[in-house]
Chains A and B, each alone.
Chain A
Amino acid sequence: MITGILFFDVMAVLVISTSIGMLVSRNAVYSALFLVLNFASVAVLYVTLGAPFIAMAQVTVYAGAIMILFLFVIMLLGAERLEGESTIRGQRLFGGLLAVILLGELTWMAVFQSGLSPAALTMPASDFAGPTQIGLTLFNTYLLPFEVTSFILLVAIIGAIILTKTDNIGKRIIRPGKD
């Protein structure tokens, strides 16, 4: 029991610190690598929760495919170094302060006031995250969200094309009176 909690604590610290690391790195490649680490540690959490299939999906899809794509883009564009230190004075400090306050408030409410006990939570069935279960849930209960997601991806693709393909816009402005 104790080792389990200790392991979780270590992983949680890792997850949080890698995501902070991603945020504050001024080198985009570092950021991307921190994100890989973050995804991997989340995957480990999935494993400890008894969901190895999701963990594998997390690693292959996010840490694998998507992050490789990110790194490619960053390096092709040569955008490793983020430029521009033109922060409005005190803004970063103020933002940090607000984040800390929000964190404090949430902690106060959720941990000290709510009287939350882990026992109150119901644990899911042990095979809830097996490939079969996920497949069945996805295509029965969550069919509609699944389809909507596919449309969202389609829209994103269209958007990517439109926003990069600029050949025929802005060249033939029709002046009033000539149409």
Chain B
Amino acid sequence: MFLSEIFSDPAFSLVPWVVFFPLAGIILNLIFSRRWEEKLTALTACLAAGGSFVISLLLMLALTHHPEGATITLLEWINTGSLQINWAFRVDTLSVTMMLVVSGVGTLIHIYAAGYMHYDVRINGDPSRYSRFFIFFNLFILAMMLLVSADNYLMLFVGWEGVGLCSYLLIGFWFEKGADGIANARAAKKAFLVNRIGDVGLLIALFLMFWNFGSLQFDTVFARAPEVAAATPAVLLAMTLFMLLGVAGKSAQLPLYVWLPDAMAGPTPVSALIHAATMVTAGVYLVARSHTLYSLVPAAQTTVVWLGALTALFAATIAVAQNDIKKVLAYSTISQLGFMVAAVGMGAFTAGLFHLTTHAFFKALLFLAAGSVILGMEDVRKLDETNLSDSFHHSHVDPQDMTLMGGLRRKMPVTFWVYLMGALALAGIAPLAGFFSKDEILAAASQNGLLVFLVLLAAAFLTAFYMGRQLWLVFFGKPRSENAENARENTALIVLPLILLAGLTVLGGLLNFPGSLALEGWLEHTLGKGINGEFNSMVAGISLIVSITGLVTAWFVYSRYSGEIKKLDPLEDMFGAVFIGARNKWYVDELYHAIIVRPLEGLSQQLAQPVDQGLIDGIAVGFGSLTKAIAQSWRSIENGFVRSYALALLLGIVLIFSYLVIR
């Protein structure tokens, strides 16, 4: 009934299928995966994600002809009083860009996961969780698609919470594993709780929005924003800042970034898809989507810029000192997200989304390649020989510790080359994708203010440095452990997505190549003319020099790293306490623990005994037992005699007529 509306392009009406495909995948796997082989389960999930991608492509083609897009109402959802919200999908250049990134990268990672999880479930000793993984993965695609295709903030919020749930479920995928058998579960809980803080912020922003605009629908809100900004600017400021809290939670910005490094407890495809390429960029998307609101409040914009820039630098300093291959990438993700947030804060939406896209390519690539390295470090061969999970003895060597690697260049050549590609792109070496996108952000920053520019430049230097460090530690030098000695390249199913992503990493820069600026023209239909990071040869030159310097410095420091196990990191020799501080993440976790968690726990302890258990429990239990006692006594009314029942009926009649008489 709703789909009968006429759209400028019939392809637009396909948009609900970006959600329906993953839904179908979930349902099929829920019902049949017990009877299916692993391959069929994985194939279903991959096809579900791929179906979404195909639809996204069709939508993109339709948009090239009709760039104004469309809103497709699937169903009326809530209609009470002044609140009217539909299940409506919004097709415009911004949402379709996000759909393409999510489903495209998502599909590749699904394919990779088909191979990776085959080993992972056996290494961890529970092959029955294979299908569970893909159900969660499809659920994530579904929720993410809801998030980016929503036409109103409430539907966006459903997707927002949905991806948060998937993140929680997948971080804790091996919930009984980790240190003390609880570390993974703790990591999942931490991610969930920290995200809740952000979500409460977003929720307050939505309440404010509904209270002041009377709607949660994008167009209505944006149309009414100027008058509200004129009448009560403080409201708009509060709204945008609370929303920013949500962004900080989901996109791991200061001060709520602490969950993302711990989230690496999830299987590597999860880290790649959710905690690098897509979910964490939801915050960037939210700011870009709400750009009308932010551009009305300069103070909020400044806050966004500085939040992003400081996060970029802060996380980069920590990344320098990490030894866990995935932790380095995690802090790098936080840092790069800082770049994007700063960009959208400056109004350089195209630059931010450009970096979001290229980052999705090369960071997914890096994580997947890191996963390949980790599998290589695991003794997978023995697994293939026995093919029995319980006879497989877990090696005691930590397969993610870079100090134990080294020399993998020769053992895993394909992985090495794609990793190199990703690392160079991240470091911002021309002509890889990361160079162009990061350069646009820096160019915009140079117009915004010198201080921001310098902070971001410093972050860029550190980025190049820690990627160089990682390359040296992992792939060059001599193997520093038996596992590294025995490492071996992985199967085609794992390697193939890597090569495809490497291709995207190399070519991604063409999306918004200086001169053509395809992405910019594309996004202008939705975002309007923002501040454009015009290609600035001087800025480009500076950033390229800084990146190369970072790599070279890393080479100087680490090429002589001998490979003695447990030898001090060369940087520790040079910087001592500063390095130790960075390695310990500047003690932020400890700080939070001391100033927030501990006092809260203390307060709870104080309240628990006398107030909760004494007073509140007393009241609750009292009411409970009172009700039970009443229930027991009333129950005896039902004594089983028909004549008593008839008498009660008669009593009822008499009462009714007494009321009628004396009324």
Contact = CB atoms under 8 A, between A and B. Distances in A.
Interface of A: 88, 91, 94-95, 98-99, 101-102, 105-106, 108-109
A63 to B, nearest CB: 27
A106 B641 CA distance: 28
Interface stretch (B434-442, B455-463, B653-661): B653-661
A88 B657 CA distance: 26
Interface in B622-663: 641, 643-644, 647, 650-651, 653-654, 657-658, 660-661
B657 A105 contact: yes
Interface in B302-327: none
Contacts of B641: 88
Contact of A102 (B643, B644, B647, B654): B654
Given A88-B641, A88-B644, A98 B660 contact: no
Contact of B647 (A95, A105, A106, A109): A95
B643 A91 contact: yes
A94 B657 contact: no
Interface in B536-580: none
Given A88-B641, A91-B643, A105 B650 contact: no
A105 B643 CA distance: 23
A95 B642 CA distance: 13
B657 A98 contact: no
B654 A105 contact: yes
Given A88-B641, A95-B647, A108 B654 contact: no
A105 B656 CA distance: 10
A98 B654 contact: yes
B647 A91 contact: yes
B653 A109 contact: no
A105 B644 contact: no
B651 A105 contact: no
A91, A94, A105 — most chain B CB neighbours (10 Å)? A105
A105 B658 CA distance: 7
Contact of A109 (B650, B651, B661): B661
Given A109-B660, A109-B661, A91 B653 contact: no
A45 B661 CA distance: 31
A153 to B, nearest CB: 25
A122 to B, nearest CB: 26
Interface string B17-32: 0000000000000000
A98 B651 contact: yes
18 contacts: A88-B643, A88-B644, A94-B647, A95-B643, A98-B647, A98-B650, A99-B650, A101-B658, A102-B654, A102-B657, A105-B654, A105-B658, A105-B660, A105-B661, A106-B657, A108-B661, A109-B657, A109-B661
Given A94-B647, A108-B661, 11 more contacts: A88-B644, A95-B647, A98-B647, A102-B650, A102-B653, A102-B654, A102-B657, A105-B654, A105-B658, A106-B657, A109-B657
Interface residues of B, number: 12
Contacts of A101: 654, 658
Contacts of B651: 98
Contact of A91 (B644, B654, B658, B660): B644
A130 to B, nearest CB: 38
B636 to A, nearest CB: 13
Contacts of B658: 101, 105
* 3 tightest A-B CB contacts, nearest first: A105-B657, A98-B650, A98-B654
Contacts of A102: 650, 653-654, 657
Nearest to B650: A98
A113 B599 CA distance: 73
A18 B212 CA distance: 76
Interface of A, helix, strand, loop or mixed by DSSP = helix
B660 A95 contact: no
Contacts of A105: 654, 657-658, 660-661
B206 to A, nearest CB: 53
A110 B448 CA distance: 90
A94 B641 CA distance: 15
Contacts of A108: 661
Nearest to A108: B661
Contacts of A91: 643-644, 647
A114 to B, nearest CB: 12
A109 B661 CA distance: 7
A108 B650 CA distance: 18
A94 B650 CA distance: 10
Contacts of B653: 102
A161 to B, nearest CB: 24
A108 B660 CA distance: 11
B645 to A, nearest CB: 12
Contacts of B650: 95, 98-99, 102
A160 B240 CA distance: 75
Nearest to A86: B641
Contacts of A94: 647
A101, A106, A109 — most chain B CB neighbours (10 Å)? A101
A105 B657 CA distance: 7
A102 B660 CA distance: 11
Nearest to A113: B661
A91 B653 CA distance: 17
Contacts of A106: 657
A102 B647 CA distance: 13
A99 B654 CA distance: 8
A94 B653 CA distance: 14
Nearest to A97: B654
B174 to A, nearest CB: 38
B599 to A, nearest CB: 58
A99 B651 CA distance: 9
Contacts of B657: 102, 105-106, 109
A99 B641 CA distance: 19
Contacts of A99: 650
Contacts of B644: 88, 91
Contacts of B660: 105, 109
B66 to A, nearest CB: 60
A35 B641 CA distance: 26
A105 B651 CA distance: 13
Contacts of B661: 105, 108-109
A98 B644 CA distance: 13
Contacts of A98: 647, 650-651, 654
B652 to A, nearest CB: 10
A157 B658 CA distance: 40
A134 to B, nearest CB: 33
Interface string B33-70: 00000000000000000000000000000000000000
A64 B459 CA distance: 108
B640 to A, nearest CB: 11
Contacts of B654: 98, 101-102, 105
Contacts of A95: 643, 647, 650
A91 to B, nearest CB: 6
A123 to B, nearest CB: 29
A101 B655 CA distance: 10
A102 B654 CA distance: 6
A105 B661 CA distance: 7
A91 B643 CA distance: 9
Nearest to A102: B654
Interface in B49-95: none
Nearest to A106: B657
B643, B644, B653, B654 — most chain A CB neighbours (10 Å)? B654
Nearest to B662: A105
A76 to B, nearest CB: 25
A105 B660 CA distance: 9
